C-alpha cells in the first residue's frame, strides 16, 4: 500500500494548493470559469464524493456487520486487515479530490459562509480517514495479530462471535489485557470512521439542497 500512501499525499498537497491558491490552477475569483471545465470539475467532485460516501455507508453499516455475523472470527479479522487499508485509502483519495474540486469551484476568498463550512466538512472527512489509514488501522492490525496468536494457544478463534474469547479471558489475564487495549484502539478507529461519515453526510445534505427536481 506504499504507492497508495504516496498518491494520497500528492493529492492532498494538490487539494491544499487549490484551497489556498485556486487562481494558480485557473480558478477565477471575479468571474465565471470555463463552462466545460466547470462541468468536468463538478463531475469529478460529485463522483468522488458519491464514491466516498457510498463506500463508507456500505462498510460501516452493512458489509462489516454481515461479515462479522457469518465468518469465523480470525478469518473475519484477517479479511478486515486487508480490506481496511484499501478502504481508507480509497475514501481518502476521493475526499481529497472532492476538496480540491470544491475549493476550485468556490475559492475561499469569495466563498460564502455556507460554502466555507462545506469545505470544512470535506477537509474533516479527509483528515479522519487519514488518521485511520496512518495511525489507528496499523495499530489495530498489529494488536489483532498479537491477540490471534494468544487465542490460537487457547484453541479459540474459529468460532463466530465473541463468546469463547470472553470466556477464555476470564482465566487469562494476558488475553483480557489485550482485549482491553484492542477495544480502545478499535474504538478510536470506529469513532474516526463515524466522524468521517458524519462529515460526508453533512455535505450530502448541502448537495441535496442544490438539486432542482
Quickly list DSSP for 172-184.
-HHHHHHHHHHHH
How far is Cα 162 from Cα 211, in angstroms, rounded to an integer? 45
Q: What is the pLDDT of residue 2?
A: 57
Q: What is the pLDDT of residue 107?
A: 86
Q: What is the pLDDT of residue 13?
A: 59
Classify residue 135 by its DSSP letter.
I
For the chain, the first-to-last Cα distance in angstroms comes to 42
How far is Cα 167 from Cα 177, in angstroms, rounded to an integer? 14
Buried b (16+ CB within 10 A) or exposed e, 109-141: eebeeebeebbebbbbbbbbbbbbbeebbebbb
Q: What is the pLDDT of residue 119?
A: 93
Q: What is the pLDDT of residue 108?
A: 84
Classify residue 33 by its DSSP letter.
P
Cβ atoms within 10 A of the Cβ of 108, count? 15
- What are the mean pLDDT values of the chain's consecutive 10-residue runs (213 residues total)? 59 58 53 71 92 95 93 94 94 92 88 94 95 94 94 89 83 92 94 96 94 79
Q: What is the pLDDT of residue 163?
A: 73
How many residues are there in the chain? Answer: 213
How far is Cα 86 from Cα 4, in angstroms, rounded to an integer? 8
State whether the Cα torsion 45-57-10-21 is positive or negative: positive
Q: What is the pLDDT of residue 185?
A: 95
The helix (H) or strand (E) run that includes residue 165 is helix 163-169
Amino acid at each position: 500500500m506504499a504507492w497508495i500512501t504516496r498518491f494520497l499525499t500528492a493529492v492532498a498537497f494538490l487539494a491544499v494548493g487549490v484551497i489556498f491558491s485556486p487562481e494558480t490552477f485557473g480558478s477565477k475569483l471575479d468571474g465565471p470559469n470555463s463552462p466545460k471545465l466547470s462541468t468536468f470539475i463538478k463531475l469529478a467532485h460529485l463522483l468522488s464524493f458519491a464514491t466516498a460516501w457510498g463506500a463508507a455507508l456500505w462498510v460501516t453499516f452493512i458489509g462489516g456487520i454481515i461479515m462479522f455475523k457469518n465468518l469465523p472470527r480470525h478469518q473475519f479479522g484477517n479479511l478486515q486487515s486487508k480490506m481496511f487499508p484499501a478502504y481508507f485509502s480509497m475514501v481518502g483519495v476521493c475526499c481529497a479530490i472532492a476538496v480540491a474540486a470544491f475549493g476550485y469551484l468556490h475559492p475561499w476568498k469569495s466563498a460564502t459562509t455556507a460554502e466555507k463550512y462545506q469545505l470544512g466538512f470535506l477537509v474533516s472527512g479527509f483528515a479522519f480517514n487519514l488518521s485511520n489509514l496512518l495511525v489507528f488501522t496499523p495499530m489495530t492490525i498489529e494488536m489483532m495479530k498479537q491477540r490471534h496468536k494468544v487465542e490460537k494457544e487457547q484453541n479459540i478463534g474459529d468460532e463466530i462471535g465473541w463468546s469463547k474469547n470472553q470466556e477464555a479471558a476470564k482465566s487469562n489475564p494476558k488475553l483480557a489485557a489485550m482485549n482491553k487495549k484492542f477495544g480502545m484502539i478499535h474504538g478510536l478507529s470506529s469513532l474516526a470512521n463515524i466522524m468521517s461519515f458524519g462529515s460526508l453526510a453533512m455535505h450530502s445534505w448541502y448537495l441535496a439542497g442544490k438539486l432542482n427536481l
